[in-house]
Structure formats: C-alpha cells, structure tokens
Structure 1
Amino acid sequence: MILVVNAGSSSIKIALFTGALTRQLTAEVAGIGGDACLHVDGTDTAIPAPDHGAALDHLLSALSDRGVTPDGLRCAAHRIVHGGATLIAPARLDDDVLARIDACTPLAPLHNPHNLSAIRALSARAPDLPQFGSFDTAFHATCPDLATTYALPEAERAKGIRRYGFHGLSYAALVEALRPDDLPKRLLALHLGGGASLCAIQNGRSVATSMGYSPLDGLVMGTRPGEIDGMAVLRLAADHGLEGAAHLLNHDSGLRALGGTADMAALLSGDDPRARFAVDHYCYWAARQAGSAIVAMGGLDAIAFTGGIGENAAPVRDAITRHLSFLGDVPVHVIPCDEERQIARDALRLLD
C-alpha cells in the first residue's frame, strides 16, 4: 500500500493506493487547530486536533482500525506545493531535500510549512517508512526561460522572483490519462476549480502556464482576480495595508467579487445580471489567456479540461471553446482530476 498525504493549513487529506494504483480509502481531518472533524468512509466525527501531528494520529488510527499500519505500508508520498528552481522532479525525502523545501517557504508561506509539518510528524511516528515528495511546480520546469523570466533587475530575479506555475500534478495526471490513446502534440489544458490555470503542453511537456510567482496570477478564479496590473496592487496595499490587500486579492476577489459567490454552479443557475457577467468574464479571460498559450505552442491540436468546474460545468467549457472556434474544430477532452494517483505513481517510479 502507498499512503498519499496532502497537508494544508488546517487540514490533512490522505488516500491509500495499492501497487496497481487502485484507490482503497480516502480520509481527511479538517479544522485543525479549531473545531476539528475526521471524515472517513462517509462518517464525520468531531475530534481534538490542535496541530498537524494530532491530526495525523487520528488518520493513522483510522487506518489501523481498517487493518493498515505503518509497518504494512510500502511508502508515503506527499504533495508539496513549491519546489523552487531546484526541486524539479519527484524526490525521496531526506535531510537535504527537506532543507530545500524549507528554503522555498518564502515562495509559498501558506503551504510549504504545513507540508513539512506532515512529513515530520509521519517521520516521528514511522521512522523507517520511506517518504517521497511530488512538487506542484515541477511539471513547469520544462518551460523555457523566455516563458518564466520577469523583466526585472538581475538582483531581484536572483531572489527567486520568476514565473513558476502551479497545478503541475493535475497536468501531469492529465497527460498520463491521455498518453495511452494518443497524446496530442499541442494540447491546451485548463484546470478550472476554486483555483484556475491553463497550460500549454507540447509533446507532453509544459512550455507555458498562466500562474506565475504565486497562484494569484493568470485566470479569474473563485476568489482571486487573476491577472492584475502591479500598480493596482500597490494602490490596494496603500489603501488596505499589505495584509489587507493580500486578503482582498486571495479571498474577496474573482467570481465572489463579480457575482457575489465563488460557487460556479450557483452562478450558472442564477439569472441576475451580476451572475451572468461573472460567468462571461470568467470564460472570456480564460479564452484570452488561452490565446497566449496557443502562441507558445505554435498552434493547437486539442483542448482538455480538468478540475471541478472543468469537469462538471459544460456551459463554461462550451463558452470557452466558442471563443476559440475561429481556430477550427479540435478534439475536446474532459479528464477527471486525480492528483493523488499521480503522487502515488511518482512514488512507485522512484521505488522501482
């Protein structure tokens, strides 16, 4: 069995896979540090979980109740949001790799520390269990310098300020899903969910993506504005302070700001002008940015949608493809997002 761990700021999600990549179990502790709850097998149980270590104990106990102990695991594999410029492929987690993940904390202060907390908590409880990491930024390491470099002074670029891109595990899983049938040479992939991005995938490799230094850039999202002029950000910081501006840009913008809710299903079912405008705006800017990705590939052979909105909101897919219809008819794929299976796949390849 392979245990996949995805630790966030207030939650830990786990999934259990066989060596054949068959999912056996999914569980989660949400509300760490507050009113925590254990979700497993469709049952919710209130639990005390003041920190990630306590949350992990509850999850390991739930596994033990189902006959799975750390001794029976082949390995654990973690989702790690930011690998920076050096961690560009899945890796076994040793002291050197952990130090490099920690060094990326300034690039992902809301994510990497919690990823590390789960890794260290599991190491303390199962010190002999091999652990591996898959990095959300790694898929975009193949983007050329032209696509990743900001036109900033060299001293600023040396601080690591560049375009990294995210949702890489989702895109890697999408490529794996299409590869057996005939992976298109020039594929426009859109991950549309609470966060949203697109990726130009040429011969299975990322050559451009819409997110940049952080997951804030690019497409309009549930609560983020996507692309925004830097001077507008400075104005928001002047008006609201740095923390206030960061909260506004990450939590109070995007669909929520335009339509009153970040829930795409609710917007699609609404008939008020705000809801219609929010959806139209979302689709228009997705198509606008898709144009730049198509330029990066020198053309288009197919489009693929994934993520909660990409998979389930046919009106959104249809609107985006209508904007791109001048390019001619191309196949459109809808691929279920499965980052957990991709993480397990990465670990298996390292083990083998």
Structure 2
Amino acid sequence: MHNMVTMRPRQGSRAPHARQSSVRAIVVFNAGSTSLKFGVYAADAGVSPELLCAGRIDNMTADPHFVVKHADGKPMESHAWGKHHAVDHKAALRFVLAWLKTNLTDIELVAAGHRVVLGGERYGAPTLIDGDVLDYLDSLAMMEPSHQPYDVGGARTFAEAYPDLPQVACFDTSFHRTMPGVAQTYALPKEVRDSGVRHWGYHGISYDYISHQLPKFAPAARRVIVAHLGGGASMCALLDGRSVDTTMGFGTLSGLPMATRSGDLPPDALLYLLRSKQFDTTTLEKMLSERAGLLGLSGISGDMRVLQKSADARALAALDYFTYAMMKYVGAYAAVLGGLDALVFTAGIGENSVQVRAALCARLGWLGVTLDENANAAGGPRISTVDSKVSVWVIPTNEEWMIAQHTLALIQPERKAPCSQ
C-alpha cells in the first residue's frame, strides 16, 4: 500500500473540524459478485449527505485491486494483491474497515448502510438491521444467490467490527413494490407463487435516485423509461416517479441481455438443456450468469468498451441484439404508461456509450425521439433536440448516495425523507 493519508476538508467545502474534533460519518457498502464499493459520507443532522471519500475493490477472484479517492476524484491510495490472489468478500470488507481506521483518523463512524438486492415479502422499505433481519435475508439467498449472500455477509462482518453501531439495509426490490399486482405476478399455481416466485425487480436503488433527480431536468415528465445500463442492465417504467414495471424479474438473470448474463430466455429451452443432460442445475446457472449475454453472443467479451472497438461481425451482432432488446421493452413500456414523455440513460454504459444511446434512439423515431448528435457526443444531460416529442437525458446514478440518504433518515428520525442531491 502507498500514499497513506489522513482525511482533511477539501478547499471550499464545509469545514466541520473548526467546530469539533472529528467528523461524524456513515459508511456505505455496495457488494457485487466480484467487487466491493464503499463511500464515506458526513452525517451532519439536517444536511444532505456529503461524500468525503469513495473506493472499491475490483476483480476480487482473479486480480484484486483497491483504490480510494477524495470526493473531488483525486487519488488517495491504491493497493494490488497480485494476479491469482483471490480475496473473498469478508476479507475485502475487513481490509476496507482496517483502512478506514488507519487512515481516516478524524472520522467518527456512526452507522453503516448496505445495498441488499432482495428484501422479500417482509421488507418493502429500508430497515434497521438486527440478527432476525439478517437471518431472514439470509434465507432468501436461494432465490438470488449471485448477490444476496455477499450483501448479508457484509452486514455480519461489519457487526463484528462495530457491534454497537446501527446498520441499515436498503433493498433493490423495495422501489418496485409500487408496481400493480398484475405486473408482480406470474401465471403459476398459488402454492408456487406463495413460495416467493414473483416479479421482484432490481436496480431499485438506482431508479429511486433517478426518480429524485429527473424533476430538476424535466419537471413535467410523468411517463418515463429509465435504462440502467451497466454490467448488469435493466429498464424501468416510471409513472409520476413510481415504478410500474421493470425488466429484471424473479432474479437478476432475466430481462435485457447483460455483460455475461443471458437476459430473457424461453423456459422450455432451459428444460431442454437439463433434459438432454448438456447441463445440470449448477452448470446451467453458471453458464447463464457467467458465459451468456454479450459475451455469449460475441464470443469476444462482455465488456461494451471492447465490443464497440471491435470490427468483428460477432461484436456488431451482439450490440445489435442489445439495442433490439431495449427497443422491444421501450415499446412495451410506452404501452403500459400510455405514452412516453422522457427516456433516461444511466449507469456505466448508459452514461458513457455514445454509440449505444444513438443506436437505441435511432430505433425510436416512431415515438417521436429525435437525437441531437452533438449533445449526445458531449454526454448531455439533454441529448434530444428541442422539438423531440420525447425528451432524452443522460443522468449519472449514485446508488451509494441514495443509501446514505436512507440510512441517515433511519438513524436520525428528525430528518426529512430523501430529497434530490
């Protein structure tokens, strides 16, 4: 490790040190299948969360590396374990906590917030964590095994280090509990539906954030489709800021094709693969989550940046499939909403891929979408022409800030509900 630092106020930022010896702060954790992101936020009562620093550990199974930056994006520190030195989630979180204790010596942690993908039937809103909560959330891991165990494990590990500090779980599924019953239901026998098989929906924390930001750009937009496009990708139909449908369904494999996840597939094809013994349940799940999607289609990579640079026909076909799938959902959701006022791109691909945004908008001329090519090349925020019947936007998401806001609202009851950043 190098560049060991102590946290100090940025020039021009609030300077709480002038009033007290330490800054009260919360830490937010967002665990992925092979990554761990975190952010540290000032927790002043009555003030919107202010980022102090943020970091992540990526590629934990093959070539793990740690990086942390100041709120202004300037590097604070980095560390690499080396190739073939896998780091599990528990070790990663312990590493982050040790780094915080060693380096942010003037920070007093007062709580932690966690992204948890699945809240199940019990939790339709952020909740304070205790042992019973974690036991229930653990029981849902069979429904969503790619993220849920790591999210719950992170809360348990934090409790070992800070047993007296409150923790808050924020759920990706909570935002979608406003969907009408018909949109949350599958055509299955009651006993199957009662076992938890329903349309849960994910990326809800991101959509929650966008729903609070969009009124600053398009205050009159009621019927909105948001495309959260990253390594995991989904779309959500919003009516007056509330979810009415979303592409990810029971788990995180369905909906749009993703970097390595399949997206929608006919169930009889999966039964065929099992029946013909090409796969068992374990190898089928691994194929659908790790070798399908853009990687499976192209045979080259699941990374959109690699595919966009490639002249290989398979890469071009994968990109075409991706935008074709999005177009179909835009059409369906425009019907659900009874029209469309705005389209929003967010997350890594949505915020950075000029090509993907242009390709989708080119397919939506029938809706009255007219792209401003110069604005799209510049990254927005508005990338549609003034006379476009549907306004199109690029709005960066910030799941960690949204979790920080919800966490502060629960540990400081006097605070108002989450507001715009």
Query: Could you say which TM-score interval applies, normalised by the shorter chain?
Result: over 0.9
Q: Which residue of 2 aligns with 1:179?
A: 215
**Aligned partner letter, 1:74:** V
Q: Which residue of 1 aligns with 2:286?
A: 247
CA contact (8 A) 1:137 1:168 kept: yes
Unaligned 5+ runs, structure 1:
none
Q: Distance in 2 between matches of 1:36 and 1:125?
A: 23
The two structures have a TM-score, normalised by structure 1, of 0.93
1:196 to 1:54, Cα distance in 2 relative to 1, 3 A = closer
Q: Which residue of 1 aligns with 2:79?
A: 44
Task: Report SS of the residue matched to 1:262.
Answer: coil
Question: What do residues 137-168 of structure 1 show as CA deviations (whole Å, max 9, x unaligned)?
Answer: 11111111111110011111111111111111
Q: Distance in 2 between matches of 1:286 and 1:195?
A: 13
1:39 to 1:330, Cα distance in 2 relative to 1, 3 A = same
Equivalent residue for 1:257, pick from 296, 306, 318: 296
Number of equivalenced pairs:
351
Q: Which residue of 1 aligns with 2:227?
A: 190
1:295-334 map, 5 Å:
295-328=335-368, 329-334=389-394
Q: Which residue of 1 aligns with 2:135?
A: 99
1:80 to 1:280, Cα distance in 2 relative to 1, 3 A = same
**Aligned partner letter, 1:318:** A
Equivalent residue for 2:123, pick from 87, 92, 103: 87
Q: Which residue of 2 aligns with 1:168?
A: 204
| 1:246, distance to aligned residue in structure 2 (A) | 1.2
1:183 to 1:204, Cα distance in 2 relative to 1, 3 A = farther
Q: Distance in 2 between matches of 1:255 and 1:270?
A: 13
CA contact (8 A) 1:220 1:286 kept: no
| 1:85, distance to aligned residue in structure 2 (A) | 2.1
CA contact (8 A) 2:346 2:395 kept: yes
Q: Which residue of 1 aligns with 2:72?
A: none
Q: Distance in 2 between matches of 1:69 and 1:102?
A: 34
- Is 1:18 the equivalent of 2:57? no
Q: Distance in 1 between matches of 2:96 and 2:141?
A: 26
CA contact (8 A) 1:222 1:254 kept: yes
Task: Report SS of the residue matched to 2:296.
Answer: helix
| 1:179, distance to aligned residue in structure 2 (A) | 2.9
- Is 1:216 the equivalent of 2:253? yes
1:21 to 1:258, Cα distance in 2 relative to 1, 3 A = same
Q: Which residue of 2 aligns with 1:205?
A: 242
CA contact (8 A) 2:144 2:252 kept: no
Equivalent residue for 2:187, pick from 143, 151, 157: 151
CA contact (8 A) 2:58 2:64 kept: yes
CA contact (8 A) 1:38 1:58 kept: no
Question: What do residues 56-98 of structure 1 show as CA deviations (whole Å, max 9, x unaligned)?
Answer: 332122112323478x122110010111122111111123322
The two structures have a TM-score, normalised by structure 2, of 0.78
**Aligned partner letter, 1:336:** P
- Is 1:55 the equivalent of 2:95? no
CA contact (8 A) 2:65 2:78 kept: no
1:195 to 1:7, Cα distance in 2 relative to 1, 3 A = closer
Runs of 4+ in structure 1 over 6 Å off: 47-50
**Percent identity, aligned pairs only?**
38
Higher-Rg structure is 2
Task: Report SS of the residue matched to 1:73.
Answer: strand
Task: Report SS of the residue matched to 2:38.
Answer: strand
CA contact (8 A) 1:183 1:203 kept: no
